[in-house]
Amino acid sequence: MSVSLFSGEAPSEKEILKENNPAKMLLGEFTQADLEQPPYSSWFVPGYKNYTPKKEALNTIKKHIGEYEIIMFMGTWCGDSRYTVPKFFKLLDQVDFNRENLTNIAVNYSKKAPGELEEKYNIKRVPTIIFLKDGKEVNRFVEYSLESLEEDIAKIVSEKAYTNPYAQ
């Protein structure tokens, strides 16, 4: 790690995380386009293309999801994230979700991200998809679905009873 010779400033937390990132995992904020590039495209693109959500759940999501802001935490190294995240992006595409209301955060093996957002949002497992209304958490999807991704999210956004596998 080196201090910039020009500015004299210490490297940012994001730069430090990048330098200590031998696995080339994504860290911090990212976009779908980042996952569509190698090395992530090897699992993202087929996961996206091969997913067909159930129509009824898709209709429910489309009707309600516009009311939400979403924060998604994932790890590019994590099997559950690699399975769920491509499907999640396809769902968002199919319901025309406004991406300005989506924040994607990639974490490292310790589930840490720049800015300590994982602490603010109490992230213990990934993927975690947090649904917010008026800045307050309504519910969250954590690690794996109980029924299917789209049915779980349909319950969350329509505010039906839903408890993620780790809620107490």
Contact 18, 108 (CB under 8 A): no
User: In this predicted structure, what is the pLDDT of residue 17?
Assistant: 44
For the ranges 20-24, 81-85, 144-148, 159-163, the lowest mean pLDDT is seen at 20-24
**pLDDT higher at 24 or 11:** 24
Q: 7 falls in which pLDDT band (50, 70, 90)?
A: very low
Domains and CATH numbers, the chain: 25-157 (3.40.30.10)
Residue 8 has pLDDT above 90, yes or no: no
Q: Which of 116, 104, 83 is nearest to 26 (CA)?
A: 104
The model's confidence at residue 167, banded by pLDDT at 50, 70 and 90, is: confident
Prior bond of 127 cis (ω within 30°): yes
102-132 residue pLDDT tens: 999 999 999 999 898 999 999 999 999 999 9
Coil/strand/helix, residue 138? strand
Distance between first and last Cα of the chain: 42
Is residue 14 scored above 80 in pLDDT?
Answer: no
Across the chain, mean pLDDT equals 88
